Amino acid sequence: MRDTYYITTPIYYVNDLPHIGHIYTTVMADIFARYHRMAGRDVRFLTGTDEHGQKIERAAATQGIRPIELADRVVARYHHLWEQLEISHDDFIRTTEPRHQRGVTEIIRRIQAKGDIYKGEYSGWYCAGCEAFFPETQLVEGRCPDQGHPVELLSEPSYFFRLSAYQEGLLEWYRDNPGCVEPRSRYNEVLRFVEGGLRDLSISRRSLSWGIPFPGDEDHVVYVWLDALTNYLSALGFGSADDTLFHRYWPAQLHLVGKDILRFHCVYWPAFLMSAGLPLPEKVFGHGWWMRDEAKMSKSLGNVVRPDHLLERFGPDALRYFLAREMAFGQDATFSDEAFLERYNADLANNLGNTTSRTLSMTHRYLEGRVPAPGGGGQVAAAAGQATAAYLGAMDRLEPHRALEAVWQLLAAINGFIQESQPWALAKAGARSQDHLEEVLGTSLEGLRIVTLMIAPFMPGVALRLESQLGVPEPRHELSRELAWDAGQRGRKLGENQPLFPRVDIKAYLEEVSMEAEKQQESKPAETPAKESTIGIDEFARIQLKVGTVREAEMIPKSKKLLRLMVDLGEDELRQVVAGIAERYDPEELLGRRIVIVANLEPARLMGVESRGMILAATDADGHPFILSPDGDVPPGSEVR
Ligand code: MSP
């Protein structure tokens, strides 16, 4: 029997449309799924949606629809998006499906039979945004520590899971399986967290109705994380009459998740499984975040990048490549159009596109499209040997960005070889150089065949098109056989030569995008009537401008621009404000300084720090900020009109 490889993505909440952060997890899982299929494993790749809980219930209520209607809409978007991105999942689970409810009921039955569930009273600070309770000690300025959402104190009867009983079991699991949580830094975090002690976990909610009824007590619904995590089992038929898939694929080889949900996967999930007497997953990998403007891309911060435009303009492969190459797997990275376009032009249009198109067109021109034998391959064969070994090692170590680096090294070697051997000069020299010409082109084409095979998990569409141009008949994508030098079929004819990645004029593209954004803005129905560029005095009066005195100022760690200020607004009010002025002002020189702030601005979080107001500053042509101060000794709290 072949090795099985069960890989999962988190299941996505349906209160939001997918953005680059969500796409990333699924694209990476798809790359590994495809890679392991090519390596000959029996792969099962699961993704899906997390549809229960307060967050969804509230989002649906604000749109005036039922939760399931909201879920259906968003699920349709996910299906469409996965199709556009050529995601090759074998199954898509929705937590509102009956098969999922059966799985959840079964796991709770087992946990109950083990004696790990008891009834108690839960009271805690609940963050509806994160669907999680936080102990008081973890709150940051009275808000949830993860996203800065407001929290509410809840108290209600609840069923509890004896998580505390699994502290030792978990520690043992981590110690005996050092690869069970990756990257290493996250493994250490999880270990430290569990060593700090575990409290029992509330696993039911009475305050909520949009969820799976708690078996045996239908006044409660199952806590959304126990519900959600069980998808990995229920999708395999666990708890259903036919559980063949469960026996074949469980335990999972890889749960791929973002680092924000690592704890749920590395602490709660294995504890539930241990209690239910089920084997534990082999590995949970917590990848980093896509950031924008120095903060995690997320709906609540309103800084998300939607994939639609990039996909429409550049197709799925360029986006997949960028996501896999730009982010060191496990670390954070910043998403920008500029970075995308630069990689597109340099790596795809230039290195990959030009190397293939020049080799193919020379073969068409000089050899009428006949693919010559590659011979021993010399330096290119050696580079291919090194690249394939590095590639396989990197993919197995979950370092896809390094795997791509290895492929691009081979491309560079092929390019260098062509440059050195000058096939165009050999062609000119006529018959006496014919053998040499054939060897050079044969060698280059063989190198490119191997490149194409290695990029197939990353850019499946492009790989197929390239293979047809290279004349590879019915590509099978079997790594162990096809990665070898000279494994290509003899006597092939090239297919038609088509450009794969037309170069982009970055400046023109960025202008086009910003004009489009402006147009969209203009075509939005005006929120203020008629005179667009003026506002009435009443409208201005709604803005509260106040004089304040800076009492404290400090840099916000890891930020180059942001300062945290405590501003005295009179009447004993000290207000925390975050200001992007650090490039021009040292914190010390601001102390005691009079400034003007917008005092009734909606609070926002910047780099995790709450800002309740905004400092007024003028900007010069280079964008440098100049703080505004009153021209005289006005007491803090004075109104500005
Ligand atoms: N529903 C839960 C998961 C339950 S799994 C049993 C959830 N859903 S989510 O929709 O909020 O997030 C799903 C995935 O998207 C997570 O892996 C999360 O880390 C990832 N991302 C969301 N925003 C992200 C970035 N800005 N960057 C990278 N990935 C991030 O959590």
Task: Tell me which of 224 and 126 has the higher pLDDT.
Answer: 224
Helix (H) or strand (E) run with residue 233 in it:
helix 231-234
Interval 295-321 mean pLDDT: 84
Residue 12 Cα to ligand 1 middle (Å): 7
SS3 content of the chain, % helix, strand, coil (to 5): 45, 20, 35
Q: Is the pLDDT of residue 266 over 80?
A: yes
Interval 356-366 mean pLDDT: 96
Q: CA 122 from chain center: how many Å?
A: 33
Q: Please list, in sequence order, all residues whose beta carbon lies within 8 angstroms of the beta carbon of residue 450, skipping any fewer than 6 positions away.
A: 384, 387, 388, 410, 483, 485
Interval 50-62 mean pLDDT: 89
Helix (H) or strand (E) run with residue 407 in it:
helix 400-421
Q: What is the pLDDT of residues 452-484, one digit of tens each?
A: 999 999 999 999 999 999 999 878 889 989 999
* Confidence band of 520 (pLDDT split at 50, 70, 90): low
Task: Tell me which of 633 and 531 has the higher pLDDT.
Answer: 633
Interval 506-510 mean pLDDT: 87
Task: Tell me which of 527 and 386 has the higher pLDDT.
Answer: 386
Q: Which atom of ligand 1 is nearest to the CA of 288?
A: 28
Q: What is the pLDDT of residues 206-249, one digit of tens each?
A: 878 899 999 999 999 999 999 999 999 999 999 999 999 999 99
- The token duo for 306 is 């939607």
Q: Is the pLDDT of residue 39 over 60?
A: yes
Q: Which atom of ligand 1 is nearest to the CA of 259?
A: 19
Interval 619-639 mean pLDDT: 86
Task: Tell me which of 366 and 611 has the higher pLDDT.
Answer: 366
Mean model confidence pLDDT for the chain? 91
% of the chain beyond a pLDDT of 70: 96
Interval 280-303 mean pLDDT: 85
% of the chain beyond a pLDDT of 90: 68
Q: What is the pLDDT of residues 443-453, one digit of tens each?
A: 999 999 999 99
Residue with tokens 């800002």: 611
Interval 164-188 mean pLDDT: 97
Q: Is the pLDDT of residue 530 over 50?
A: no
Which of 51-65, 66-80, 494-508, 562-576 has the highest mean predicted lDDT (pLDDT)?
A: 66-80
Interval 57-83 mean pLDDT: 93
* Confidence band of 363 (pLDDT split at 50, 70, 90): very high
Task: Tell me which of 559 and 288 has the higher pLDDT.
Answer: 288
Q: Is the pLDDT of residue 90 over 70?
A: yes
Contact criterion met (CB below 8 Å) for 289 and 258? yes
Task: Tell me which of 499 and 417 has the higher pLDDT.
Answer: 417
Which of 228, 56, 54 minimizes the C-alpha distance to 152? Answer: 54
Buried b (16+ CB within 10 A) or exposed e, 443-461: bbbbbbbbbbbbbbbbbbe
- The Cα–Cα gap between 280 and 181 comes to 12
Which of 97, 234, 114 minimizes the C-alpha distance to 165? Answer: 114
Contact criterion met (CB below 8 Å) for 341 and 326? no
Residue 260 Cα to ligand 1 middle (Å): 7
Residue 26 Cα to ligand 1 middle (Å): 10
Q: Whose CA is nearest to atom 19 of ligand 1?
A: 258
Which of 92-96, 531-535, 568-572, 602-606 has the highest mean predicted lDDT (pLDDT)?
A: 92-96
Give the global pTM: 0.80
Q: What is the pLDDT of residues 9-31, one digit of tens each?
A: 999 999 988 899 999 999 999 99
Residue with tokens 């079997």: 478
Residue 228 Cα to ligand 1 middle (Å): 12
Residue with tokens 């890679």: 35
Q: Is the pLDDT of residue 360 over 90?
A: yes
Interval 391-398 mean pLDDT: 98
Q: CA 421 from chain center: how many Å?
A: 43
* Confidence band of 561 (pLDDT split at 50, 70, 90): confident
Q: Whose CA is nearest to atom 5 of ligand 1?
A: 10
Interval 145-165 mean pLDDT: 89
What residues does ligand 1 touch, defined as CB less than 6 Å away?
10-13, 21-22, 24-25, 50, 228-229, 231, 257-258, 260-261, 289-290, 296-298
Residue 126 Cα to ligand 1 middle (Å): 19
Residue 169: C-alpha distances to residues 173, 312, 452, 507, 530 (Å):
6, 49, 45, 57, 68
Of the listed ranges 157-161, 255-259, 285-289, 333-337, the least confidently predicted one is 333-337
Q: Is the pLDDT of residue 527 over 60?
A: no
- The Cα–Cα gap between 497 and 500 comes to 9
